[in-house]
Amino acid sequence: MLREMSATYGRSSLGYLWAILEPVAGIFLLTFVFSLAFRSPSLGTSFPLFFATGILPFMAYMDVSNKMSVALRYSKQLLFYPGVTYTDALIARFLLNAITSIMIAVILLPLIIIFYDLNVIIDMKAIAWGYMLAFALGAGIGTLNCFLLSVLPIWERAWAVLNRPLFLVSGVIVLFDTVPLPYRDWMWWNPLTHPIGLVRKGIYSTYDATYVSSVYVLAVSGVTLALGLLLLRRYHRDIINF
């Protein structure tokens, strides 16, 4: 984890500050654009809080899955040591990025609430569970992609193309409940929609989020994680020696 910290955040003079500035820039860019066209967001009265509750869990998933997907590539030299295994590389990247995402949320959400003087009744259990689902999904997808990216170089570009519309169809910008049918039904099958909805439920006490299915997200996460670990267990030596 120390190696990952120095490699990821130690190269820039901004370091961990950039990890906070990146979501801040996204939140306020969306706030600026949408406040020109709408008087209020789909939920509540604050554009920054609405977009923060979507962007932060979305980025938590993306950071975990993206960093875990290249864990073997960036730790290849270390894996030649008998005491270091591929699971060490995966766990280190998961823990570092999960802790970083939690740190960002703990800093930004209270700052937005205090700065804009918002009256919010927070459900910490819902927020925590929403983040756990985002981390679980990121770990599952990241582990499976760790194998696929190692054996199929073309998958990296294909996955990047598939991920481009993810920001738009995960409920980050548009509230799930406001999406017209049948697109709302299609959107439900995107597992990332559920942790984002759960985090919003934790911030907005009047928001029900009855569509959220933890079982579905955990099923997708479990299947992808198990498949990724099985494939890596069988082929990790071939990948390292390639």
Statement: residue 240 has pLDDT above 80:
no
Alpha-carbon separation of residue 216 from 18, 61, 136, 188, 194 (angstroms):
33, 16, 12, 10, 9
Q: What is the predicted pLDDT for the residue at 12?
A: 60
Query: Which residue stretches of 123-182 are H helix?
Result: 124-151, 154-163
The model's confidence at residue 162, banded by pLDDT at 50, 70 and 90, is confident
Q: Tell me the one-letter amino acid at 19.
A: A
The model's confidence at residue 76, banded by pLDDT at 50, 70 and 90, is confident
Percent of the chain with pLDDT over 90: 52
Contact 20, 108 (CB under 8 A): yes
Burial class (CB in 10 A: 0-12, 13-18, 19+), 217: buried
**Region 146-174 average pLDDT:** 89
The model's confidence at residue 85, banded by pLDDT at 50, 70 and 90, is confident
Q: What is the predicted pLDDT for the residue at 186?
A: 94
> Which of the pair, 149 or 8, is modelled with greater confidence?
149
How many domains does the chain fold into? 1
Statement: residue 68 has pLDDT above 80:
yes
Statement: residue 31 has pLDDT above 60:
yes
The model's confidence at residue 235, banded by pLDDT at 50, 70 and 90, is confident
Contact 101, 133 (CB under 8 A): no
Q: Is the pTM of this model over 0.85?
A: yes
CA separation for the pair 119, 140 (Å, rounded) = 36
Query: Which residues span the domain enclosing 91?
Result: 2-241
Percent of the chain with pLDDT over 70: 95
The model's confidence at residue 10, banded by pLDDT at 50, 70 and 90, is low
Count, residues in the chain: 242
Contact 163, 169 (CB under 8 A): no
Q: What is the predicted pLDDT for the residue at 13?
A: 54
Statement: residue 227 has pLDDT above 80:
yes
Contact 112, 49 (CB under 8 A): yes
Q: Which of 38-42, 108-112, 217-221 has the lowest mean pLDDT?
A: 38-42
CA separation for the pair 242, 233 (Å, rounded) = 15
CA separation for the pair 121, 118 (Å, rounded) = 10
DSSP symbol at 14: S
Contact 46, 122 (CB under 8 A): no
The model's confidence at residue 123, banded by pLDDT at 50, 70 and 90, is very high
- 156: tokens are 């990296």
- Among left, alpha and beta (phi > 0; psi -120 to 50; other), residue 15 is left
Count the Cβ atoms, other than its own, within 10 Å of residue 121: 9
Q: What is the predicted pLDDT for the residue at 33?
A: 86
Q: Tell me the one-letter amino acid at 157.
A: R
**Region 204-220 average pLDDT:** 94
